[in-house]
Structure formats: structure tokens, C-alpha cells
Chain A
Amino acid sequence: GENVEQHPSTLSVQEGDSAVIKCTYSDSASNYFPWYKQELGKRPQLIIDIRSNVGEKKDQRIAVTLNKTAKHFSLHITETQPEDSAVYFCAASIGNQAGTALIFGKGTTLSVSS
């Protein structure tokens, strides 16, 4: 079945720096890759997603890149702010239809210090 690896498990940056989180997946049929942000004690919230027919997607300070050949995708946060501090999860779809079950990485705890 699908296996998603996420690195690093923790990441500490200074306010204004960039943060990069990387994930790899195993199922070549996966074609949907969302990223979720989970603040302490709250539910995971979708922040950005990408489908396999696109190599990069940007939304203000966050961007996601996808390399289907290598089966890895990354989250990039620029100009980090303290409110970016949270746990970030990558995920990959099982099968080849968006909206099917997601397998999540183990998460990255991002700490942004001011």
C-alpha cells in the first residue's frame, strides 16, 4: 500500500527565514497531494494541495512542488511568521482519484521564533 515519508520531524527557523518540508510517496498511482496545518489542540486544516498534472503551485507565502518521477513533493514557506508555528502534514491519495482516502506523513513540527 501507499507509504508516505516526511522530513524533517522538527524544524526551527527564525522569523523571516524560509522553511522547507519534504515528503516522498511510494504509490505511483497517487495523483493528489495536499498539505495540512494543525495548530495545537485544533483540527488539521488544508493549506495547499497539488495534483499530479502540475509541477508547482503557489499561494502567497506558501508553495508546493511535485516531482512525479522521483515521487517526492515539498512544501515551501517563505518569510515565516510566528503564526506559522504548527504541525504540518503531507498526504498522498490512495489510488488515482482525488477524494479517495489519504495517507499522511508523520508530520513536521515547525517552530518560528521572533
Chain B
Amino acid sequence: GAGVSQSPSNKVTEKGKDVELRCDPISGHTALYWYRQRLGQGLEFLIYFQGNSAPDKSGLPSDRFSAERTGESVSTLTIQRTQQEDSAVYLCASSSGRIIHFGNGTRLTVT
């Protein structure tokens, strides 16, 4: 594809529900990242996948957050039992080397 694709672009969910966010990286990119950006805030690192290596999960804020990646393709970020503080834009990015390319993000609103 032309770039990193994320779906849905917007998601509104009720507190306590689970949500799944999807990321399609640029074809051939071995590295995939998830970041969270709260309104007016910086980019908070969540998790990083590199090829077949064990993912770096050091940024996941709680055990309600998990992510998976199938080979070097699609990744899903799952948030269980959503809380209002989970409301943010979740950005996925991928790279094949130095330059990281971001998707447009999924705006999650927890009511």
C-alpha cells in the first residue's frame, strides 16, 4: 500500500467494553510500532515489533493493553475493559530501517 493504514479511523465505545484497533503497515516493513497520543500531548510509546523477535512491550500502561502481529504484516492493539483515560489517538507506525512512517491514527473515545 501507499502508507500505513489504520482502522477504524474513529471509535466510540462505552466504558468497560473491549476494543480492537488494526494496523496495516507498509509492505516489506519489518518494524511496527504503536504509540498513544492524548489530546494536546506527546507521543507515548506503547509497543514495538521487529521481525520475529520478541516484542518490546515496555510501554504498555497496564495489563488491559495487548498487541499482536501476524508475521510482518497486520497488527492489532486490544484494550480490554476500556476506561475514560484510554481516550486518545492511537498511532501505528512502521519502518524498514531508519525512517518511521506513521498512520493517520485511530481516535478512541470512551464514554
Contacts and interface: CB of A to CB of B under 8 A. Distances in A.
Contact of A99 (B35, B91, B95): B95
A100 interface: yes
A49 B98 CA distance: 9
B105 A43 contact: yes
Nearest to B98: A98
A29 interface: no
A104 B98 contact: no
A49 B103 CA distance: 19
Interface size class of A (residues with CB under 8 A): 20 to 34
Contacts, number: 56
Interface in B45-83: 45, 48, 50, 56, 58
Contacts of A46: 99-101
Contacts of A99: 31, 50, 95-98
B102 A44 contact: yes
B80 to A, nearest CB: 23
B48 A89 contact: no
Nearest to B35: A104
B103 A100 contact: no
Interface of A: 1, 6, 32, 34, 36, 42-46, 49, 89, 91, 94, 98-107
Interface of B: 31, 33, 35, 41-45, 48, 50, 56, 58, 91, 95-105
